[in-house]
Structure 1
Amino acid sequence: MRRLWRVASLLWQASPWAMWRGAAAALTVLVMGAALLGLSGWFITATGAAGLAGIGIAFDVFRPSAGVRFLALGRASARYAERLLTHDTTLHALAKLRLALLDRLRHCPIDQLRRLRSAAELTRITADVDALDGLVLRLILPLLAGLLTHIAAFAMLWWLTVPSVALSIAGGYLLGGGLVLWLTARAALVPSKTAERSRQTLRRQVIGLFRGQRETIQQGLLPRRRDELNLTERAEQNAESRLNVIDERAGLVLNLIVTLTAAAALLAGDIAVGLSTLSPAAAAIGFFAALGLAETLLPLRRGLAELGRMHDAAGRILPSETPKPAALPLPEVSPDHQTALVLDRVTVAAPGRQTPLMAALSLTLPLGETTALTGHSGLGKSTLLDAIAAVSAPLSGRVTLLGTSISDWPDKQLREHLTLVPQRARPVGGSIRENLAIACDDLNDSAAWEALTTVELHGVVQRIGGLDATLGESGTGLSGGEARRLALARGVLRRPSVLLLDEPTEGLEGPLARQVLANLKHSLPDTAILIASHRRAEQEMADYLITLQPTHAEK
């Protein structure tokens, strides 16, 4: 349960003053509810007793009735305040938690981010945060307010009635009710986890099916995918049905606990009346207060039934390891513009492995020249560009940018001088202008159109509505080649000293590919361009051509 306490602490700290006010309002609701029924029971019984005694006309009905109205109105107002404060604060805290989780992804290694499917990851984060919305509203606040209400009720009943009445109510609720709630949480733990895992699996399967529906239909896999969805959905429904059964049985037993506790309070009060140690009206307080205290118990069962779902979500949301202390900022570098990039016996390996993908590579890239890297698939061209761009570490060797080791560059200054356009760079949902502004904070229309012209995309953008034309998720509205050129335009806007391109003209016809590369060289005359290439058009436009060799040879 430590995970849940840590998440609850995070949510509470998001707005502690509002949470405490909400807790006070929740406590007020329960206390006034129990007091309302207790006072009403006393008032009804006392009025009846006065009437039977023939002194009804002398009985003061005004103050008790005013107290009843005050408690009723106060309870309604406190309920409104409690819902307003706790729900609004919890939703704001969950929104901050979502942002913190998405921000945490920003610090993940690039190879881990590439393995993530964005839609599936966003769906998981959203589902996990949604699973935690009941942690405060259905567990923490009701438990805290319920315990404090029982303490207050016990003290008041001990004072107003007799100890046997107070003890019977406390024992019935805290022992009997507590045992039922504990058994409910224990029984619901596994089906709650199963239901949530099946629900998230179903979401991922549906997303995957919609994204790959064309290939699924072409390969004749639609019936199999449908069967998989049905199987997952049945697993979720079975788990939910089990949870509903547990919830209904818990509700039935808790209602029985309430009935027995109220009966025990009535019996204890009756015995006290028979012993002349308590008046009938005071004895009624215990019975009706016992009924009013049922509100502290019954709402908890659904929150406890979802405990497994919350526990799993908390485990995924909380960091799996202790955060490392922040590294000291690196001092700014004084670039040496004599040589753009130097590789000294650099080798790279696939993520998580120690076997070199290629022979050690040494090369020097002068400013204003274009170099193409070639070699068969699997030799690590893309991995090499990642290592040069400092998004992953090389297996061995040294990378020097403008006279300084790549590891000694502050990240912000490094990105000002070196830009990587990866093979699968995709636009983001939003306007063309917003996509280009990622590379340039002070973007103006003139610079935007110049960059689009460089990559031969200006005509396309004009046809779809200009810089304010809106793209869908992952650049929906542009073809693959157009989306790739939009990513290239961002690279042009940065005007780096070194530009790394991973198969930049993939999907473009030969003449268009040559024109785009020629425009790049013309637009960035002082930039060293390094291209990981499979295409003849890219190789023909390069000033130098380097073929990567397998590990048994060196280049």
Structure 2
Amino acid sequence: MGSDPGLRLLREATAGSRRSLVRALGWSAVQAAPALASGRMLATALDHGFLAGRPMVGIGWLAGIAALYGVRAAAQRAVFDPLAAIVEPMRDELVRRVVRGALRRAVHEGLPGAGPDAAGVTRLSSQVDAVRGTVSALLRTALPLAVNLLAALLGLASLDLRMAVVVAVPLLAAVAAFVPAMRTLTRRRAAFLLAEERVAAATGSVVGAARDVAALGARREALAEVQRAAAASAGAATTVAWANALRVPVILIGGQLPVLGLLLAGPSLVRHGTVSPGAVIGAVSYVTAYLIPALQQMTGSVAGFWSQLRVLAARLAATSARPDPPAPAEGPAGDGDAELAVHGLTFAYGPHAAPVLRDVSFTVPDAGHLALVGPSGVGKSTLAGLLAGIGQPDAGRVTLGGRAIAALPEAERAASVALVPQEAYVFPGTLRENIAYLSPDSSDDTLDRAAAAVGLGPLPARLGGYDAELADPAGTLSSGERQLIALARVYASPARLVILDEATCHLDPAAEAAVEAAFARRPGTLVVVAHRLSSAARAARVLILDADGHAYGTHAELLATHPGYATLVGHWNAPLPTPVP
């Protein structure tokens, strides 16, 4: 499972469901009670009841078999709760990953003016739900099938070991022959799924360009493109159907042949007194009632579910993969000590209002990395503004390198402190003017380093270089691209203190991690207002604000000692990286 990206994705998405899986397996074992005992009970009912002239004894044993089926029905009902506890969290995690992948492609790979990603819509609305349904169906069938198969073989062996061998040899041979055919079925299902995506992509592109198609008189060509995709999809469906037909000889060899063997060997065994007539009939019932249906399920629904799941999971893994963070890049920063010290900071939005911040004190050393966390409305952005020198506190002070930020001359404060808000501003003008706004003399090499550090990627080249005009930034750039331009602007600046106030909210978690890593390597001090657990865990220190005040420490310390922080962590969904020591 570790080498297959699709199965690895499913394993990660269900990592927290092991206890539920054990519960589901336990209830499946209870469902196997008739498979284990019914054949032997039927043999006893015949040998010691009906064939011995004691019909009431036989009826009593048959009533016992009926009771076992009642137990199985109750177990089948009970298994749904643990299955739901496995499948629903898995679906939520897959949706998060697919959305992150779609956003990453839209930000980093999408072209301005491009139409909707119809294949991406298919992945989200169809493939994730298909994985959810397939996993649920696979667990509902595969778990009982496995325990029923084992229980029936054990029950058969308890009647007579030789009859068990007559059944097991062709059964195992048929299963061994079917396993390689599964690879063919999986490959053909993969081709069918890709063909379906091409149909969705072709249809979406034609619908999105309907006006152009009509204006150019290209209806016939557009129709032909969609028809070619549909024909390829139909052909792929046919190959899947032929692969499914391989199950017929497997059932004949593994299921029907053992029945024939028992019927041929049974009379001889009975005549020699080796087994009783009831035992032969019980053995046949094991095969016909449990082994043949199990084989039909294995080669039919279970094989189909498994191959479909492999294909769907592989597609989701490929489309939700996170990008590798960019290579380390160093950028310019101002000289001097960048220790940030906050002493007794108190602030309220009016003389009669309750303080938003009360007696907040902490210190971030030069080149330190602090994450500021807390529930919504607790004052994180207010504190970020005060750290940047925007507004005056009612009490206390903020110093950078021993100097009060609020007392710095405006030009010096603007050069020393950079606050990047959630909504990035990109003004009409050239890309160079936007990135070099805080460092007008920056060379192309400096701009290249800043762009590479924050993951701006191919955007400069796609726009036509740094001198390309951005006449309508809001219309031509995505929210994530605008954030990356603002981040590159600050990275290239001489600021010694950088405050990111949810400035990466439009980036996927991997891109956000790359941005924070770049600013952490950059000379100076970094403060991140975190909106994901991963940002807090990456920081050297964490400051949490809540209704009871504030607390300061490492991620691990606060998690162990601060109930509010532990509660906040429990509501965050981002993956948890290793905290920075």
Task: Report the TM range for the smaller structure's normalisation.
Answer: 0.5 to 0.7
* CA distance 1:356–1:41, change in 2 (3 Å): closer
1:23 to 22, 25, 29: 25
* Residues 177, 254 of structure 1: 8 Å contact kept: no
* Aligned-partner SS, 1:276: coil
- Provide the residue aligned with 1:258 in structure 2: 255
* 1:86-485 mapped onto 2 (5 Å cutoff): 86=83, 89-103=86-100, 110-112=107-109, 117-133=116-132, 136-139=135-138, 142-159=141-158, 161-180=159-178, 182-251=179-248, 253-291=250-288, 292-300=290-298, 301-305=300-304, 307-318=306-317, 320=321, 329-330=369-370, 334-335=388-389, 337-338=410-411, 339=414, 341-343=437-439, 344-347=441-444, 351-352=457-458, 375=469, 389-391=483-485, 399-400=492-493, 404=495, 409-412=498-501
**Whole-Å Cα distance in 2 between the matches of residues 210 and 140 of structure 1?**
39
- 2:296 match: secondary structure: coil
Return the alpha-carbon distance in structure 2 between the equivalents of residues 235 and 45 of structure 1: 60
- Contact 1:192–1:307, Cα closer than 8 Å, also in 2: no
Matched residue of 1:186: which SS?
helix
Aligned partners of 2:184, 2:48: CA distance in 1, in Å?
45
Contact 2:28/2:144 (<8 A) preserved = yes
What residue identity is the alignment partner of 1:95? D
Deviations 1:87-144 (A, max 9, x none): 6742452233212432455567932366784554232233332342365345466445
Aligned equivalent of 2:571? none
How large is the Cα RMSD of the aligned pairs? 4.4
Amino acid in the other structure paired with 1:232: A
Unaligned runs of 5+ in 2: 329-367, 372-383, 390-404, 416-436, 449-455, 506-530, 532-581
- Aligned equivalents of 1:133, 1:356: Cα separation in 2: 38
Residues 33 and 71 of structure 1 are in contact (CA less than 8 Å); yes or no, is this contact kept in structure 2? no
Deviating more after overlay: 111-120 vs 258-267 = 111-120
Equivalent position amino acid for 1:165 in 2: M
TM-score (norm: length of structure 2): 0.56
Q: CA, structure 1 residues 330+409, in 2 after alignment: closer, same or farther (shift >3 Å)?
A: farther
Q: Sort the Cα spacing of 1:157 and 1:391 in 2 relative to 1 into closer, same or farther, 3 A.
A: farther
Q: Deviations along 1:20-67, whole A, 9 cap, x unmatched? A: 3333333433442464455346535654422xxxx336x513430221
Change in 2 beyond 3 A, CA 1:99/1:322 = closer
> Which residue of the partner structure matches residue 430 of structure 2?
none
Cα deviation digits, residues 415-449 of structure 1 (max 9, x gap)? 89xxxxxxxxxxxxxxxxxxxxxxxx9xxxxxxxx
List, as ranges, runs of 4+ consecutive aligned residues in structure 1 with deviation greater than 6 Å: 321-325, 353-361, 385-388
CA shift, 1:227, in A, is: 1.4
* Percent of aligned pairs sharing the same letter: 15
The residue number in structure 2 matching 1:469 is none
Q: Give the Cα–Cα distance (whole angstroms) in 1 for the partners of residues 11 and 480 of structure 2.
A: 39
Per-residue deviation, 1:228: 1.6
Question: Structure 2 CA distance, aligned partners of 1:212 and 1:88?
Answer: 43
Q: Please say if residues 39 and 283 of structure 2, whose CA atoms lie closer than 8 Å, have aligned partners that are also in contact.
A: no
How many Å apart are 1:185 and its aligned residue? 0.9
Partner Cα distance (2:202, 2:462) in 1: 36
Deviates more, 1:95-104 or 1:223-232: 95-104
Distance change >3 Å, CA 255–CA 280, structure 1 → 2: same
Q: In structure 2, what is the Cα distance between the partners aligned to 1:273 and 1:17? A: 48
Provide the secondary structure at the position in 2 that maps to 1:299: helix
Give the Cα separation in 2 of the matches to 1:315 and 1:169.
37
What is the CA–CA distance in structure 1 between the aligned matches of 2:162 and 2:259, rounded to whole Å?
13
Q: Secondary structure at the match of 1:404?
A: coil
- Displacement, 1:199? 0.8
Deviation at 1:250, TM superposition (A): 1.0
Which amino acid is the alignment partner of residue 388 of structure 2?
Answer: S
SS at match of 1:411: strand
Residue 166 of structure 1 deviates from its aligned partner by 1.9
Distance in 1, matches of 2:173 and 2:192, equals 30
Cα pair 2:153 2:164 within 8 Å, conserved: yes
**How does 1:37-48 map onto structure 2 within 5 Å?**
39-40=41-42, 43-44=45-46, 47-48=49-50
The answer (yes or no) to whether the contact 1:22–1:85 under 8 Å persists in 2 is: yes
Q: Is the 8 Å Cα contact of residues 21 and 85 (structure 1) preserved in structure 2?
A: yes
Paired with 2:324 and 2:465, the residues of 1 have a C-alpha distance of 36
Whether contact under 8 Å (1:194, 1:239) holds in the other structure is yes
Q: Is the 8 A contact 1:329 1:410 kept in 2?
A: no
- Aligned partner of residue 438 in structure 2, secondary structure: strand
What is the aligned partner in structure 2 of residue 425 from structure 1?
none
Give per-residue Cα distances to partners, 1:196-251, cap 9 Å, x unaligned. Answer: 01111111222222222122211222221211212211211222122223324414
Distance change >3 Å, CA 356–CA 157, structure 1 → 2: closer
